[in-house]
């Protein structure tokens, strides 16, 4: 029996809660390094196009599924069609796989915050600092464990609400601070080439990998194709508009990612001369680039400390949302008490995350499909499992329960302006697209095609 659900008070409550889960490391850490790596402007363009079409349709569908059934992912798929209940389970696997490596990066952020408040900011700006940190053993494990322990403690004590409140103050400050840093970077001599690289699409940089990466990023950043938005939808009141809520969450989420890119990519040009190796730095990009920016600013140590503190909070609200999801699924299914469940998820995440934490150091030689552990978990979730979840969601909605079931739900709160786009995306464009993406990413991972 599902307990009676409490609901978000209104639209603002819903949008802020969903945005709190959506905005996190995906926007600030992941988006800029992918944009730098996959062609700058052309990546940005593909990302935005995907977000307003496919992302819009997927998020609206998930929220509508949640609101219609009043259940979270596993129960919702079971209720709509028994044959598709595996989609709920598959989606539930995603947060469990993301949480461990998300916490590894959360640990990096925590470490940088502490470095800044202990006055070592000049050290952090030196070449090689980041690499010597992540290639160690004790240090990455230490910071990773700290981050996951903080997350587990908050979930265990049930004080998420307090953190959410705090993050509602932190988020606007983060946006303001990012704006200031972005303006500073863009005015630094040498940044012009970076601004052009980021904002002007150059189609010679386009490849199918641009689309694969942009699509994975979209799922990740908007917290879709993993059941989370279904859960949020289940708490949404019937009179709140799904359509305009989705627009607002998207603007929030994409806006912050855009700003992070504007802060980091021109900085690669202004401070590292646009070195192609830096552009392809991958997960370390933010940690290599931003300390150089802060080091050159007056009061940079304080700004850096504040910045990493705010990113820490954005990461924490997301990791809490990830862990909460895993804990509540296990609790529901296994009927364990909350304490035991939190402990099991904490230890499980520590163990699964360990290879990712050590993947740049002692375990560097170990490659899964040619990838480091962290990249591998990132790839499996974003480029394989999430597209599969999205594909079957589209098939179920488009052909089994039919789009009307959901458009009726969406229309409960008024006219659905983009209804045609929604139906065409879910039934035709998204499934074809997803199949192409899935095949390309899997073939490329096995080295069968080079893209």
Residues forming contacts to ligand PHE in the complex (CB under 6 A) are 21-22, 24-27, 95, 98, 220-221, 223, 226, 228, 318, 321-322
Cβ proximity to ligand PHE: between 71 and 191 the closer is 71
| Axis crossing angle, helix 85-117 with helix 300-334, rounded to the nearest 10 | 150
Cβ proximity to ligand PHE: between 170 and 423 the closer is 170
| Rounded least distance, CB 256 to ligand PHE, Å | 9
Cβ proximity to ligand PHE: between 38 and 220 the closer is 220
| Rounded least distance, CB 18 to ligand PHE, Å | 10
| Rounded least distance, CB 280 to ligand PHE, Å | 21
**Which residues share a beta bridge with 371?**
368
Q: How many CB atoms lie within 10 A of CB 95?
A: 24
Report whether 159 contacts 324 (CB < 8 A). Answer: no
Number of helical H runs and strand E runs in the chain:
24, 0
Kindly state the tokens that stand for 84.
């598709």
User: At residue 368, what are phi and psi to the nearest 5 degrees?
Assistant: -110, 120
Residue 67: how many CA atoms within 13 Å on its side-chain side? 27
DSSP 8-state code for residue 7: -
* Cα–Cα distance measured from residue 428 to residue 174, given in angstroms and rounded to the nearest whole number: 39
* Cα–Cα distance measured from residue 171 to residue 164, given in angstroms and rounded to the nearest whole number: 10
Cβ proximity to ligand PHE: between 125 and 285 the closer is 285
| Axis crossing angle, helix 338-358 with helix 300-334, rounded to the nearest 10 | 130
| Rounded least distance, CB 325 to ligand PHE, Å | 7
| Rounded least distance, CB 230 to ligand PHE, Å | 12
End-to-end CA separation in angstroms for the chain: 49
Residue with the CB atom nearest ligand PHE in the bound state = 26
Cβ proximity to ligand PHE: between 296 and 328 the closer is 328
| Rounded least distance, CB 403 to ligand PHE, Å | 25
Cβ proximity to ligand PHE: between 27 and 188 the closer is 27
């Amino acid at each position: 029996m599902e307990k009676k659900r409490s609901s978000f008070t209104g639209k603002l409550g819903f949008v802020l809660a969903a945005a709190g889960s959506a905005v996190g490391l995906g926007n600030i850490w992941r988006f800029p390094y992918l944009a730098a790596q996959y062609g700058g402007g052309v990546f940005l363009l593909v990302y935005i196009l995907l977000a307003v079409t496919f992302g819009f349709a997927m998020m609206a569908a998930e929220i509508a599924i949640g609101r219609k059934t009043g259940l979270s992912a596993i129960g919702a798929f079971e209720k709509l069609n028994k044959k598709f209940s595996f989609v709920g389970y598959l989606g539930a696997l995603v947060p469990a796989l993301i949480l461990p490596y998300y916490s590894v990066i959360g640990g990096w952020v925590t470490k940088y915050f502490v470095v800044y408040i202990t006055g070592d900011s000049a050290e952090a700006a030196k070449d090689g600092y980041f690499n010597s940190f992540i290639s160690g053993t004790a240090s990455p494990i230490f910071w990773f464990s700290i981050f996951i322990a903080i997350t587990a403690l908050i979930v265990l004590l049930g004080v998420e609400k307090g953190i959410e409140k705090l993050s509602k103050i932190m988020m606007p400050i983060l946006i303001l601070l990012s704006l200031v840093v972005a303006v500073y970077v863009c005015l630094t001599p040498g940044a012009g080439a970076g601004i052009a690289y980021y904002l002007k699409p150059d189609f010679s940089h386009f490849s199918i990998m641009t689309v694969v990466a942009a699509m994975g990023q979209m799922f990740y950043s908007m917290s879709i194709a993993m059941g989370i938005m279904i859960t949020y939808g289940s708490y949404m009141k019937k009179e709140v508009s799904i359509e305009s809520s989705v627009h607002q969450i998207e603007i929030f989420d994409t806006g912050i990612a855009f700003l992070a890119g504007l802060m980091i990519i021109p900085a690669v040009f202004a401070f590292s001369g646009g070195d192609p190796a830096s552009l392809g730095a991958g997960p370390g990009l933010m940690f290599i680039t931003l300390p150089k920016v802060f080091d050159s600013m007056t009061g940079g140590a304080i700004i850096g400390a504040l910045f990493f503190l705010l990113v820490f909070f954005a990461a924490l609200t997301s990791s809490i949302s990830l862990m909460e999801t895993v804990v509540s699924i296990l609790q529901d299914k296994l009927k364990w008490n909350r304490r035991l469940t939190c402990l099991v998820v904490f230890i499980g995440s520590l163990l699964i995350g360990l290879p990712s934490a050590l993947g740049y150091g002692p375990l560097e030689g170990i490659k899964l499909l040619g990838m480091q552990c962290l990249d591998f978990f990132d790839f499996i979730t974003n480029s394989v499992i999430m597209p599969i979840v999205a594909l079957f969601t589209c098939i179920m909605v488009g052909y089994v329960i039919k789009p009307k079931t959901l458009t009726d739900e969406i229309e409960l709160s008024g006219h659905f302006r983009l209804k045609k786009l929604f139906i065409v995306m879910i039934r035709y464009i998204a499934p074809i697209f997803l199949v192409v993406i899935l095949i390309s990413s899997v073939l490329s991972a096995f080295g069968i095609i080079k893209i």
